[in-house]
Amino acid sequence: MSTYRASPFSVSKTFEFGALPPASAPSEMSIAQLPTGATYRSASFGYRGGSLLEPREFSMTATLIKHPKGDLLIDAGFGRDIAQHLAKLPLFFRLLTRYSLNKTAREQLQSSGYDLSRLRAVLLTHSHWDHISGAADFPEVPVWIPPAERSFVHGEDFTTASARSIKSLHFEEYRFDARPYLGFAESHDVYGDGTVVIVPAPGHTPGSVIVFVTLPDNKRYAFIGDLAWQLEGVTEQEERPLPQRLADAEPRLVRENLAHMAAISARYPEMTIVVAHDPRSFASIPTLVPKP
């Protein structure tokens, strides 16, 4: 049994990008994953054509980027008050959502002996409950979002009620420069060395972004947030089966950005596409080692 599979969607745009953009990563730069919990769903929930009978664990994972100019968390996963954050969402969604909470990002950082003063910001792929919850555990650390996402949080959309309920968050806006990156018209180079480059990828939310990371060994990642919910979204270019307006602010843009990332992935298979809720995409990223 599987969800209805639409005929492959057509995107009229073609995507043009040259060689992989250069990056000069300092040797101290590194990356680690902090798995904070999971929700339990089926493949059919993740992408069209997925089986109703195939369970899928949806990862809720923060990613630590260590950089000598200040560290970042890409998304924050589930925080200590996740039950309260989930409670802000509508009943139908809560009924659909069974979850487990592991150690939070803050707890994992602390038990590894991490110096929290190194953390420069939480960089959100978007502001939904399952990405922002853990940011509430770092009231001293700013949360980076572009202006479009900030307006979305401060609006009335039901999907950002959790974000609005966390009074301790302080948002810092960043803006994009008219500097193309892998076919995206604009980008924001966080450190100015090409190692962490954010591009706008609106659709799931108006200010959703993709974060490209390049490490000293030249390994490359694209953190695509919830552009897709499972890897098949990119590998098979399959959209979410949920009634579209329920899952995505602008489904047409999700489709376009999915096609764009599928094109990048086909052209540069060495780039790891990290789908926020697919644990398989974190396989090559180490976890933190707790201090004895």
State the number of binding residues for Zn ion (CB under 5 A).
Answer: 2
Question: Which ranges constitute the DSSP H helices of the chain?
Answer: 43-46, 82-87, 91-96, 105-111, 129-132, 147-153, 161-165, 232-235, 244-247, 251-267
Q: Provide the minimum distance between the beta carbon of 62 and Zn ion in the complex, in angstroms, as a whole number.
A: 12
Q: Provide the minimum distance between the beta carbon of 226 and Zn ion in the complex, in angstroms, as a whole number.
A: 4
Tell me how far apart the alpha carbons of residues 5 and 44 are, in angstroms, rounded to a whole number: 10
**Of 25 and 198, which CB lies nearer to Zn ion in the complex structure?**
198
Q: Provide the minimum distance between the beta carbon of 29 and Zn ion in the complex, in angstroms, as a whole number.
A: 26
**Of 130 and 189, which CB lies nearer to Zn ion in the complex structure?**
130
Pick from 71, 75, 130, 248: which binds Zn ion (CB under 5 A)? 130
Q: Establish if 278 lies at the interface with Zn ion (CB under 5 A).
A: no
Q: Are 68 and 29 in contact (CB under 8 A)?
A: yes
166-185: which residues touch Zn ion (CB under 5 A)?
none
Stretch that binds Zn ion, among 41-49, 96-104, 223-231, 284-292 (CB under 5 A): 223-231
**How far is CA 164 from each of CA 84, 142, 249, rounded to the nearest angstrom?**
12, 15, 17
Q: Establish if 75 lies at the interface with Zn ion (CB under 5 A).
A: no
Q: Establish if 226 lies at the interface with Zn ion (CB under 5 A).
A: yes
Stretch that binds Zn ion, among 130-138, 139-147, 150-158, 247-255 (CB under 5 A): 130-138
Q: Provide the minimum distance between the beta carbon of 55 and Zn ion in the complex, in angstroms, as a whole number.
A: 18
**Of 133 and 195, which CB lies nearer to Zn ion in the complex structure?**
133
User: Buried b vs exposed e over 60-83: b needs ≥16 C-beta within 10 Å?
Assistant: bbbbbbbbeeebbbbbbbbbbbbe
Beta strands 55-66 and 71-74 are antiparallel
Sheet order of strands, 171-173 included = 99-101, 30-42, 55-66, 71-74, 119-123, 143-145, 171-173
Q: Provide the minimum distance between the beta carbon of 66 and Zn ion in the complex, in angstroms, as a whole number.
A: 24
Residue ranges that bind Zn ion, judged by CB under 5 A = 130, 226
